[in-house]
């Protein structure tokens, strides 16, 4: 450690020397544990008090907790499980699948995998290479492995928890023994994930030989101050709610500024802010009217008695459809068309139906008589909505900024509203409060200040890149910054135009390439600008640039990926297959990061 150049470590000389002394002589396993322990303290922020540590003794048996996470939920569960196992005296190590060497799987004896499914059945970005290895002929026989899988998903998608199911099946095919059954979690995952973690912990005494444990620290609880999190969100005051699209725009995009003064909340560029929301009151009223239910009917929601109107406004998901609701409604409606769509319909047709309908549409199209409690029992819990943070905390102390497009449209002869977006855009004014907490996104992080970056963010996907450029300006970063931005019209949809122009003048943004699809007869998108600037973009990649993509996952992310492949083919002399592999190598090296949704 003493051989590192001055300035590489964020430590003074005394701290660096103490750290070197503390870790000298420790085994790789012990160093891995310390890494997880200190990462947990960092994630908890300034409110965390270090736990007292006492050693125990033992063997090389350990629990390896692998996680693949698109939003950070899987990582949170995995690291919590590692801390829980360590507190019970067991060796446990939580590792991202992006950092795990797949070939090491044959050396493991006990593994749990916490894995999310992205979009329509795809593995998350950080698990892509591991997924390909596990599903390939290169995967080894795993007769000595015991495993369990926790699958995270969203039942609004047809291929619910698909990646977790595939991992569970494939490990069994390779001869591994399942020690706890596959658990599938929807967006409201807390209870199921907790129960699965408890089953894992309770099984460790028989799965790991406590009598021969390696020298792993045993954590002893120390009282600490609780931080604001999803169980205790912070009431942030709205400072600014400003429309940043023009009057002729087809979209209503807002720049929202919130105060987090006194909260102790911290964040980094790339993180998200979760907003605890309420449903649109006009939608609640419409549901009650269509169902002929009384607003003050008393219902039970998670063992709490509430008036129906309050439950629909504050506690239950009443906008987005999920498969559980569709099946429950089909059963009471008795409609053959709806039942056929669920039972024998084409998956793409079912996906299209879910994407284009809200719950109110299903109720109107397939009417049924139902009482208040029956209806409530069909609905999922209303969960917080997450937005990419569009500010640097260094540049904006005690504030967090969001870029929010209000979801408000007409379909099937009626108005439709998004829950969080309309609350923030239309129902939150300066002086109001919004309950929030920070969600870490460790797989969408800036590189060092001397590394050039290429940012691709059409529409509100530009949000994190506003934070990136603000942060790099504060750092006086020497690495170049290149932004690709696209939207519909230059005159009404150029989000943060004046800020980008200022950054260009001040030298904090070296290049800005824009694509406005509706300003000419032939539509132009960011992927077209990428191809047009392919030679220069390839030179940036060769200089070590990191590529970032944020925005729509269904179309844009794939189109951008294809454009990058074309650049590598046209200017790097690679064939298409080699170019695709090159992008995977960049992703594995952290030089191609995506935050798509």
pLDDT at position 348? 85
Local confidence band at 156 (pLDDT 50, 70, 90 cut-offs): confident
Q: What are the chain's domains?
A: 13-220 (3.40.50.360), 234-277+384-439 (2.40.30.10), 281-378 (1.20.990.10), 453-596 (3.40.50.80)
Q: Are 165 and 115 in contact (CB under 8 A)?
A: no
- State the average pLDDT over residues 93-106: 93
Local confidence band at 12 (pLDDT 50, 70, 90 cut-offs): low
- Between CA 526 and CA 482 the distance in angstroms is 13
| Residue position matching structure tokens 């600490």 | 224
Judged on CB neighbours under 10 Å (0-12, 13-18, 19+), 457 is buried
- State the average pLDDT over residues 473-494: 97
Asked if residue 4 has pLDDT above 50, the reply is: no
Q: Are 147 and 176 in contact (CB under 8 A)?
A: yes
Mean pLDDT taken over the chain? 89
Sign for the pseudo-dihedral over CA of 272, 274, 275, 280: positive
- Between CA 418 and CA 408 the distance in angstroms is 6
Q: Are 377 and 308 in contact (CB under 8 A)?
A: no
Judged on CB neighbours under 10 Å (0-12, 13-18, 19+), 110 is buried
Q: Are 360 and 321 in contact (CB under 8 A)?
A: no
Asked if residue 14 has pLDDT above 80, the reply is: no
pLDDT by residue (tens digit) across 382-407?
999 999 999 999 999 999 999 999 99
What percentage of the chain has pLDDT greater than the value 90? 77
Backbone angles phi, psi at 417, to 5 degrees: -135, 145
Judged on CB neighbours under 10 Å (0-12, 13-18, 19+), 54 is exposed
Please name every residue paired with 300 in a beta bridge, in sequence order, or none if there are none. 305
- Between CA 70 and CA 98 the distance in angstroms is 11
Q: Are 230 and 77 in contact (CB under 8 A)?
A: no
The total of other beta-carbon atoms located within 10 Å of residue 247's CB is: 7
Element of type H or E holding 423: helix 419-426
Q: Which of 8-12, 362-366, 531-535 has the lowest mean pLDDT?
A: 8-12
- Between CA 163 and CA 144 the distance in angstroms is 23
- Between CA 75 and CA 88 the distance in angstroms is 20
- State the average pLDDT over residues 231-254: 96
CA angle 248, 254, 259 (to 5 degrees): 160
Asked if residue 143 has pLDDT above 80, the reply is: yes
Q: What is the dihedral of CA 217, 221, 226, 228, to 10 degrees?
A: 40
Local confidence band at 10 (pLDDT 50, 70, 90 cut-offs): low
> Which one has a higher pLDDT value, 510 or 120?
510
The total of other beta-carbon atoms located within 10 Å of residue 223's CB is: 5
Q: What is the Cα 344 distance to its own chain's centre?
A: 32
Strands, E assignment, 282-345: 298-301, 304-307
pLDDT by residue (tens digit) across 293-332?
999 999 999 999 999 999 999 999 999 999 999 999 999 9
Local confidence band at 345 (pLDDT 50, 70, 90 cut-offs): low
- Between CA 101 and CA 141 the distance in angstroms is 16
- Between CA 22 and CA 217 the distance in angstroms is 13
Name, in order, each residue with C-beta under 8 angstroms of 115's C-beta and a sequence gap of 6 or more. Answer: 66, 67, 68, 69, 74, 97, 123, 124, 127, 149, 150, 151, 152, 163, 164, 167
- Between CA 78 and CA 62 the distance in angstroms is 15
Backbone angles phi, psi at 187, to 5 degrees: -60, -35
pLDDT at position 591? 96
- State the average pLDDT over residues 478-485: 97
Tokens of 269: 């560029």
Judged on CB neighbours under 10 Å (0-12, 13-18, 19+), 249 is middle
Name, in order, each residue with C-beta under 8 angstroms of 173's C-beta and a sequence gap of 6 or more. Answer: none
Q: Are 454 and 417 in contact (CB under 8 A)?
A: no
- Between CA 103 and CA 88 the distance in angstroms is 29
């Amino acid at each position: 450690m003493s051989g590192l150049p001055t300035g590489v470590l964020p430590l003074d000389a005394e701290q660096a020397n103490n750290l070197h002394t503390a870790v000298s002589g420790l085994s790789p396993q012990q160093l891995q544990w310390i890494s997880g322990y200190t990462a947990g303290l960092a994630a908890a922020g300034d409110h965390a008090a270090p736990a007292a540590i006492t050693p125990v003794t033992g063997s090389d048996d350990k629990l390896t907790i692998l996680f693949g996470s698109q939003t950070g939920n899987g990582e949170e569960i995995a690291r919590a499980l590692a801390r829980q196992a360590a507190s019970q005296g067991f060796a446990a190590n939580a590792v991202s699948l992006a950092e795990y060497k797949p070939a090491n799987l044959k050396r493991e004896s006990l593994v749990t995998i916490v894995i999310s499914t992205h979009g329509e059945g795809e593995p998350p970005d950080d698990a892509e290479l591991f997924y390909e290895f596990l599903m390939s002929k290169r995967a080894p026989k795993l007769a000595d492995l015991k495993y369990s899988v926790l699958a995270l998903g969203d039942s609004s998608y047809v291929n619910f928890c698909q990646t977790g199911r595939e991992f569970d099946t494939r490990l069994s095919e390779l001869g591994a023994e399942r020690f706890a059954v596959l658990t599938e979690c929807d967006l409201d995952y807390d209870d199921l994930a907790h129960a699965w973690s408890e089953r894992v912990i309770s099984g460790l005494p028989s799965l790991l030989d406590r009598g021969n444990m390696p020298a792993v620290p045993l954590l002893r609880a120390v009282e600490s101050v609780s931080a604001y999190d999803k169980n205790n969100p912070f009431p942030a005051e709205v400072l600014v709610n400003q429309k940043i699209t023009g009057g002729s725009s087809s979209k209503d995009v807002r720049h929202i500024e919130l105060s987090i003064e006194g909260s102790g909340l911290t964040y980094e560029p790339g993180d998200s802010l979760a907003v605890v929301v309420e449903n649109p009151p006009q939608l609640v009223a419409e549901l009650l009217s269509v169902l002929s239910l009384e607003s003050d009917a008393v219902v039970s929601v998670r063992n709490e008695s509430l008036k129906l109107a309050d439950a629909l406004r504050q506690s239950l998901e009443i906008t987005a459809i999920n498969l559980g609701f569709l099946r429950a409604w089909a059963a009471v409606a008795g409609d053959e068309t709806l039942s056929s769509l669920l039972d024998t319909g084409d998956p793409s047709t079912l996906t299209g139906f879910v994407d284009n309908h809200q719950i109110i549409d299903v109720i109107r199209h397939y009417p049924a008589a139902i009482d208040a409690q029956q209806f409530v029992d069909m609905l999922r819990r209303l969960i917080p909505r997450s937005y990419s943070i569009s500010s640097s905390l260094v540049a904006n102390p005690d504030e967090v900024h969001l870029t929010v497009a209000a979801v408000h449209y007409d379909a099937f002869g009626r108005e439709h509203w998004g829950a969080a977006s309309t609350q923030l855009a239309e129902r939150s004014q300066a002086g109001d409060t919004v309950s929030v907490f920070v969600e870490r996104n460790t797989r969408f992080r800036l590189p060092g200040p001397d590394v050039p970056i290429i940012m691709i963010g059409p529409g509100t996907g530009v949000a994190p890149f506003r934070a990136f450029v603000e942060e790099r300006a504060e750092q006086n970063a020497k690495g170049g910054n290149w932004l690709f931005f696209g939207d519909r019209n230059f005159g009404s949809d150029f989000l943060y135009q004046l800020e980008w122009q200022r950054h260009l003048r001040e030298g904090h943004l070296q290049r800005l390439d824009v694509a406005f699809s509706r300003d000419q007869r032939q539509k132009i998108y960011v992927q077209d600008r990428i191809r047009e600037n392919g030679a220069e973009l390839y030179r940036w990649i060769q200089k070590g640039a990191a590529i970032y993509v944020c925005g729509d996952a269904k179309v844009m992310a794939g189109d951008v990926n294809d454009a990058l492949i074309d650049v590598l083919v046209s200017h790097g002399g690679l064939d298409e297959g080699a170019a695709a592999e090159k992008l995977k190598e960049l992703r594995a090296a952290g030089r191609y990061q995506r935050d798509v949704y």
